[in-house]
Each structure stands twice: as C-alpha cells, then as structure tokens.
Amino acid sequence: MVYESIPRTVRIILLGEPGVGKTSLILSLVTEEFTEHVPPKAEEITIPADVTPEQVPTNIVDVCLNEQTLEQVAEEIEKAHVICIVFSVDKQETLDKIASYWLPFVRDNCPNDYRKPVILVGNKIDLIDYSIIDNIWDIAEEYPEVDRCIECSAKTLTNVSEMFYNAQKAVLHPIHPIYSIEEQELTERCKKALSRIFKICDLDGDGVLDDYEITLFQKKCFDTPLQLQVLDEVKSVIAQNIAGGIENECITMKGFIFLHCLFIQRGRNETTWTVLRNFGYDESLELTQSYLYPNIKIPSGCTSELSYKGQQFLTQVFEKYDQDKDGMLNPTELKNVFSCCPRIPWHNLRYTVPTNEKGYLTLQGWMCRWTLMTLLDLQNTSAYLAYLGYNFLENDTQKSAFHITREKKIDVAKKQSSRNVYQCHIIGPRGCGKTSICRSFLGIAHKRIKPHTNERGDAHSCDSNCCINTVQVYGQEKYLVLREIAITRVSDPLQPHEVNCDVACLVYDLTASRSFEYIARIYIKYFAESHIPVLIVGTKGDSMVMRQEYILQPEVFCSKYQLLPPQVFNIKENKHDVLVKLATMAAFPQFQAAWILFSKRRHLKHFASFAGDNTSWWKAGIGVAAATIVGLVLIKILNFQRQ
C-alpha cells in the first residue's frame, strides 16, 4: 500500500510574454504537429490519465495577457499546481522579464506564501545552435521554487512532451522537499526519512543491507525483482563514488543515502519518492495520518490486545536490537530501538514491568509494556508500530497487529472470559499496602518510592499508576494489569473508570483498626450490585493484627456478601497466589458463583480451606458439578423410597 498526499489532477499553467510560443507548445503536444496558424489563446485542455506517464489526469491552461486581466491571471496561478514560464531563446528580453516580472508576480499570488514549483521553458531552440541553460542558473539560485529548466521547440516537437512530463513530475515528485539545489545535497528531512527506511530494511540490525534485504526492499517499493547483475552494478557505482558505501559486499546507510542523491541528480525524483511514499511519507516528509493511524474501532465493552502477528513482530524487533544477545535491552539498545521514532514512549519501566536487577528490559518486560500500551492507548501503539516498520513486509496496515475482544457482557453471560489481558483495580486507603502488592508482582523488594511521573513530570498519565506482568491461569499465560486507585476519604466518590475492571482487589491494613471500614463501604457502594468479581486482601500479615472497628469483621463480612474469605498478603513471603487468584477470578467469573452455591450449602468451611490453596483451585468447578449430581441422585432415591 502506498500512502500519498498528491493531487488527483495536475493543473499546469503557461505564463510568459506574448509571442514566446505558449499556445504553440500546447497545440504541438495535442496534435503532435506544428501549425503555422496559431490562435491568440488555446482553450483549456484535459489529458486523460491513461495517456500520461504518471497515470494522473492533467489540465493545461494557456494565459493570454491580451485577452485576460492580471486579476484573472492571478486566479489561474492560485488554482494551478505548477507554473511553466515560457521565454523565447532568441529574444533576451523575454528571458530578462522572467526574473524582473514573472517570478515575483507568481510569488505574490501564491496563497499563504506557498511556493509552487516553477518550470522555466526556453522555446524555439530550432532558431539557435547553442544552449542557453547556463544563463538560467543564476535565476534558479535566486528563486528556489524553480524546479528545472528545459529547452524545447514547438516547431520541431523537440522536448515538448518532456516539458509537460517534467511539469507533472514537479507536482507529483517535487524536488525541493528532498534535495537542496544550492548545496547539491539531500535535505536533512530526506536524510532522516531514508535513515529510518534503512533501519527498517536492515532486518538483522547489522548496519548494512545484504542481498536478501535489498531484494525485500525492492519488492516492497517497486514490486519487481532486482536482477543480480543490476545489483552488482549498483554496488559498483556506490563503491566508486563514496568511501564506506559498501562493506563486505553489502550497502551501508552512507551508500544507501548516496544512491538516492544520485537518483535525484540524474532527474529520477520519482524513484526516491516511490520509496518514501511506500514507507508512509507525504510531500512534507511527514508520515501520513492514514499510515500512522488506520481506522480501528473499539466497541463499547471491548478491549484491544496484541494479535499473534503483533507479538511476533515485536519479538523480532527485540531480538534485532538486543545486539549483545543477553536477552535484555540496556539503555543504549532501547534508545536504538526508538531511534527512528519521535521519542522513547516509555519511562519508569522498572516500576511498570518486569526488568532485571539493573532495570533493563527483558523480553517478558518488553512484551508486557507493549501489551499495556495496546490496552490503554491503541492509537499511540499503532503509530509506534508504524515507525518501527510493521508494514514493511506482508502487512498493509497495523490492523493485523491487534485483536479486539468481544463485549464484556458476553463474557459475563458465558461465565468465561475470552481475553488474555485482565485489568485489576487495587483499591484501598492511603498507606494500606497497595504499592507493596504491585511491587511484589514485579519481584521488587518494597521500599518507599516517589510517585511515578511521565516525561512531562505529570504524575497522572494514563499508565503511570499501572504495572503489568504475566500469570499462569490453568497452564495458560495471561497478562494481569494492576492499577492503584487511591482513596483519601471514603466520602470521595470513585469515578466510573476507577470502578470498571475485570476484577477488583479491595485492600485493607491488618494493623490499622479502621482500615477495613474504608473498603467495606466501597464494596457496598460500588461492587455489591455489579458483576465484577471482588477479592478482599489484608496486608502486613507479618505484623500484629488488629481487630477491625466495623460492625462486621472481615470474615463475617465476606460470608454475608458471599465473597471468598479475606486473603492475607505478606510482602516478606511474596504471596504470588493472591495475584493468581485475581487473574483466575477475572478469567472465570463462575468461581464466584461457585462460592455462592457452596455457601448456600453447608460446605463453607471446606470451601474456605481449599480456596486458600492455590493448587486446588481447579477442583472448584469439579466440586460444584459433583455436588449437583449427588443432590440429583439423592432426590431420585428419596422419590423411589416413597413409592
């Protein structure tokens, strides 16, 4: 897929002094022959797309000062995409008028100071036997909008079609965004864009493009294979013209950029533009909105996750930039990953995802961070996948990198979640130990830590209070996102986005006598009538436990509201089973229903004992089914005895 922002129709206007041959050039192009009887002005003509080299419809407009006012000419300039200023090579005064009148007039009538490309056309070369191109370069240097100069003859048809073709090219493949005529060098923006393209095509990250990578690049941009002989010739040209352009028979970035400079110097702007547009660039060398943000809708009640393709691509990116192959990305390697992006999108990684003891990203942490970003900010994730080259090979857009889950209400109805990423809100009063649970989830020893801040110093970014890791739920790897929800006063209302989650963990401090009251009131107000599974957790279990000053003690409260018994969390023991329970409750909401069924029977004590043993959770479903079957058998036996 090519992402372009080029006109659907090219509009060419011909300006110049009377008698220079503007009308003759148009008629010679259309009729392919010269006519002696030329009208004062040609009617506007349209050349169909199928007969133009660029396959774009082209309108050609003739201007006659004897029949049009300057205001009308100014209107035509404003509507045009490219201006051809024609002069007669045998009349110096017509050339002088270009710099003294026509170019300033064009500038003055371009809207918003936008400099439209200008082609200087020297007509009637059949009347002289020398070239006047050298006399024009001084004008071109003073007016950067001059794209090129062409000598032609309407009478002999010399370069007539080339003149209009180059006018098309000046619009469709403009030179000024990519090349500085004054410096005879690519622009910095063009170099930056080509550097990103090179890094994307360098699949193994070794700093050069080998034959296989060049072949893939050729197929992506031009959809044709590159013959081995042609490739050898290209390498030879690079090696002969620039030192360091070829290493070990491979093309370096230096050689890659030089090659495009050579294309442009030889008038092949379209080659470089084809490459740029295939990698998402528009005329201003910015990545287009359609390239960065394909239309992906997330219906209400659904969430976004990485697809298998997305995970596969990101794994390849990790392995590509893990230069020392130690299974992690150090700060330099992470910086290299995002060298072709506007900025590094993440900060505070150590307290968000799993890292090693130095805070370096492991592959697990890398995938966790992308999973969190996909969940919370799909648009930004899509853009960064584009920057990194997700669309390079077989993918047209980033849509295939994502999976949109089914609606939450369907999961509730089926009593089983189809998702792989679950959101758990850790809710509790300040100082109750919410952060300890999150740090434990990441394997970090708890210590007092300053609040998260994003790159702008904002402590309230969408993911600044989140952490994510993987958990095993019945042998399947799932992602669990923990988000801390701070409560200053129980009277402060929770916002809908603070309540809505896959599972809620209500946390209280076992050593603070009024701590449980906070979460008890929170549960009654926000969760008692919802379908959200809730687990109550008491922290600081290694200290002296205080009796809670509330009308119901935690165990009685959970029994009354048919919740699992309160879980005790001790940071020193790193009780990971609490987190597994939370993930399991999110994945299988029926476990809460199973608890309700058992509590209605006289198996409360038995259920509480196995609920505390993580290895026995899988028996819950079997136990419910067995109890139901036994009950049915007993009923049948009693009915039989009565008969």
HEC readout, 587-609: HCCHHHHHHHHHHHCCCHHHHHH
Position with higher pLDDT, 456 vs 301:
301
Name the pLDDT band for 531 (thresholds 50, 70, 90). Answer: confident
List all residues 6 or more positions away from 87 whose beta carbon is below 8 Å from its beta carbon. Answer: 16, 17, 20, 94, 95, 97, 98, 120, 121, 122, 123
- Do 401 and 420 lie in one domain? The reply is no
pLDDT of the residue at 179: 92
Number of domains into which the chain is organized: 4
Q: What angle do CA 538, 544, 548 make, to 5 degrees?
A: 55
Q: Rounded to whole angstroms, how far apart are CA atoms 538 and 540?
A: 7
Specify the range with the lowest mean pLDDT, choosing from 129-143, 225-239, 500-514, 623-637.
Answer: 623-637
**Eight-state DSSP code of residue 417:** -
Range of the domain at 509: 411-449+463-603
Residue 486: which pLDDT band, with cuts at 50, 70 and 90?
confident
Better-predicted residue by pLDDT, 115 or 578: 578
Asked if 354 and 484 sit in the same domain, the reply is no
Least confident of 362-366, 442-446, 572-576: 572-576
**Cα–Cα distance for residue pair 149/140, rounded to 1 Å:** 8
Largest CA distance in the chain: 125
Same-domain check for residues 203 and 150:
no
Angle between helices 434-441 and 577-587 (to 10 degrees): 90
The CATH number of residue 590's host domain is: 3.40.50.300
Tell me the average pLDDT across 481-503. Answer: 86
**Residues 79, 45: one domain?**
yes
pLDDT at 457 over 70: no
CATH number, domain with residue 326: 1.10.238.10
Report phi then psi at 595, rounded to 5. -60, -40
What whole-number percentage of the chain has pLDDT above 90? 65
Question: Per the domain annotation, does 480 fall within a domain?
Answer: yes
At 301, list the tokens: 């009640």
Please indicate, yes or no, whether residues 545 and 567 belong to a single structural domain of this protein.
Answer: yes
pLDDT above 80: residue 334:
yes
Residue 398 or 641, more confident: 398
Query: Are 388 and 415 in the same domain?
Result: no
Residues 442, 503, single domain; the answer is: yes
Together in a domain, 473 and 586 = yes
Worst-scoring range by mean pLDDT, 13-27, 264-278, 557-571, 629-643? Answer: 629-643
Q: What is the pLDDT of residue 77?
A: 93
Q: Is the pLDDT of residue 615 over 60?
A: no
Could you tell me the pLDDT band of residue 329, with boundaries at 50, 70 and 90? very high
* Same domain flag for 436 and 501: yes
User: What average pLDDT score do residues 484-513 get?
Assistant: 88
Question: Does 617 or 314 have the greater pLDDT score?
Answer: 314
Q: CA neighbours within 13 Å on the CB side: how many for 393?
A: 13
Does 418 lie in the same domain as 537? Answer: yes
Task: Say whether both 35 and 142 belong to one domain.
Answer: yes
Please determine, for residue 76, whether its predicted confidence score (pLDDT) is greater than 90. Answer: yes
